[in-house]
Amino acid sequence: MRIIHVAPLYTPVIGGVEDVVKHIAEHMADKGHEVYVITHNRHRTGGVGSLPREEIINGVHVIRLKPTLTWSHGSYSPELPDAIRRLKPNVI
**Contact status, residue 77 vs residue 65, Cβ threshold 8 Å:** yes
Architecture of domain 2-87: 3-Layer(aba) Sandwich (3.40)
pTM, two decimal places: 0.91
Q: What is the pLDDT of residue 36?
A: 98
List, for residues 57-87, the tens digit of each pLDDT value.
Answer: 999 999 999 999 888 777 899 999 999 999 9
List, for residues 4-44, the tens digit of each pLDDT value.
Answer: 999 989 999 888 999 999 999 999 999 999 999 999 998 87
